[in-house]
């Protein structure tokens, strides 16, 4: 059996690593890895491969940054000859980025089985590019690996056959559990002079939050005010940085290489590697984020999370964990943050299948695939 995993953007790497590792243990299974090049900065890509112990990609399509249509189109154009030549039995795609939907479409058009890791999540907000990517990818996929019960329900509600759906747990959590101890040893917070459970971590990159200057400015005002209560560390995504530079002067900031501190309490920095971020996140008092994956990681780490969005495609983090949706209003962010900071810490709680074995379950199912379009494991 020949599997081809296609990755492209930062949140793909921690989901793909455990699946590739587990698949490689099967004799008779060949795994090839293609990187689309959607993310290409060392800190957004190569560093993650090194830290996660991933094999080097067999091929890098080097698509780079472009508009959504062009990026997706370029992946189709560059991946099609690769799939035609390699003829894998299954193409594995991860999450909800442009690389995911492009690879799924390319493979499905060539009649190759598509397996989607992290299928079925829905925010029900079609203004999010990721939501469109999720819907299209799921409807092109033959095997849909889900992380939480809501995903199965969403897929069934959209008419996808239960034969195709396999709830396997969360491959991203496999990576977290595997690397957690190693991350502890890097003690990243100490390099910033911060004590355990005495600071917050902020991440922001959703177009709806950072591409609209008024929205981004309102969030930053809340965060700067909150940084008087506790220091806030902000590893800044490249797309956010582009917008940040434009509004920081009005907020009394100037971007400089290596980041800049404001009174030592709002610490803005370049994106962090996987281990540094994990160590920072694990010892934080509070997370503020608009990321999908960080909501789940916070739940497993037992760190309260405020999600700076009006919706989440990961409702399990609201029901099961300590995630609260706060949108982008300054007053709501401050009120909720202060409320959460006044509560005692709660123990971490992980859903049943988030046990570090999702990659193994996925590999076991894939290794048993037979025939051209099985829809389900034998
Ligand atoms: C992408 C994903 C998003 C994911 C996020 C995590 C889509 C639609 N979005 O968003 O789901 O949560 O990655 O990081 O696929 N850039 C760099 N260096 C890089 C990569 C990007 O400078 O290595 C800059 C480019 O200027 C680019 C911008 O960041 O224009 C946005 O990058 P892009 O890959 O289009 O989407 P993200 O916002 O990173």
* Contact in structure between 100 and 38 (CB atoms under 8 Å): no
65 CB less than 6 Å from ligand 1? Answer: yes
What is the band of 320 on the pLDDT scale with cuts at 50, 70, 90?
A: confident
User: What is the average pLDDT across 85-106?
Assistant: 98
Domain segments of the chain as ranges: 2-170+355-366, 180-341
Distances (CA, A) of 140 to 7, 94, 163, 353: 17, 13, 15, 25
Q: Are 45 and 238 in contact (CB under 8 A)?
A: no
| CATH hierarchy code of domain 180-341 | 3.40.50.2000
Contact 215, 208 (CB under 8 A): yes
Identify the CA nearest to 128 among candidates 353, 292, 14, 330: 292
Active site residue 139: no
0.75 exceeded by pTM: yes
CA-nearest residue for atom 20, ligand 1, is: 39
6 or 251, higher pLDDT: 6
Mutation choice for ligand 1 from 6, 7, 8, 9, CB with most ligand atoms inside 8 A: 9
Domains 2-170+355-366 and 180-341 share a fold: yes
pLDDT digits (tens, 9 = 90+) for 263-307: 568 898 999 999 999 999 999 999 999 999 999 999 999 999 999
pLDDT digits (tens, 9 = 90+) for 334-372: 999 999 999 988 888 889 899 999 999 999 999 988 654
Question: Which CATH number is associated with domain 2-170+355-366?
Answer: 3.40.50.2000
Give the nearest ligand 1 atom to 242 CA: 26
Crossing angle of helices 213-226 and 330-341, in 10° steps, is 30
């Amino acid at each position: 059996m020949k599997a081809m995993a296609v990755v492209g953007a930062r949140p793909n790497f921690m989901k793909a690593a455990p699946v590739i590792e587990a698949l490689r243990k099967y004799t008779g299974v060949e795994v090839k890895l293609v990187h689309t090049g959607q993310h290409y900065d060392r800190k957004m890509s190569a560093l993650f491969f090194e830290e996660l112990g991933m094999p080097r990609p067999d091929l890098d399509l080097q698509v780079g940054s472009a508009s959504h249509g062009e990026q997706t189109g370029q992946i189709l154009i560059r991946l099609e000859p690769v799939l035609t030549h390699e003829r894998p039995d299954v193409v594995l795609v991860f999450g909800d980025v442009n690389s995911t939907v492009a690879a799924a479409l390319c493979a499905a058009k060539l009649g190759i089985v598509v397996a989607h890791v992290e299928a079925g999540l829905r925010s029900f907000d079609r203004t999010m590019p990721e939501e469109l990517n999720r819907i299209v990818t799921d409807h092109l996929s033959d095997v849909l690996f889900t992380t939480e019960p809501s995903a199965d329900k969403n897929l069934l509600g959209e008419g996808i056959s239960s034969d195709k759906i396999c709830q396997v747990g969360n491959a991203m959590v496999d990576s977290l559990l595997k690397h957690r101890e190693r991350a502890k040893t890097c003690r990243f917070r100490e390099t910033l002079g911060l004590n355990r459970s005495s600071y917050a971590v902020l991440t922001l990159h959703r177009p709806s939050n950072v591409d609209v200057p008024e929205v981004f400015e309102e969030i930053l005002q809340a965060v700067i005010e909150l940084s008087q209560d506790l220091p806030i560390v902000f590893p800044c995504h490249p797309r956010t940085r582009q917008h940040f530079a434009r509004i920081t002067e009005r907020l009394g900031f100037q971007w400089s290489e290596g980041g800049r501190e404001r009174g030592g309490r709002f610490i803005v920095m370049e994106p962090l590697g996987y281990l540094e971020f994990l160590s920072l996140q694990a010892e934080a008092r509070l997370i503020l984020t608009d990321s999908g994956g960080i909501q789940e990681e916070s739940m497993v780490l037992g760190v309260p999370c405020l999600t700076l969005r009006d919706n989440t495609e990961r409702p399990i983090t609201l029901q099961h964990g300590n995630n609260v949706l706060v949108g982008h209003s300054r007053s709501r962010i401050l009120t909720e943050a202060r409320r959460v900071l006044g509560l005692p810490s709660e123990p971490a709680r992980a859903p049943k299948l988030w046990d570090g074995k999702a990659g193994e379950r996925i590999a076991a199912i894939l290794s048993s695939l037979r025939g051209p379009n099985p829809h389900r494991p034998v």
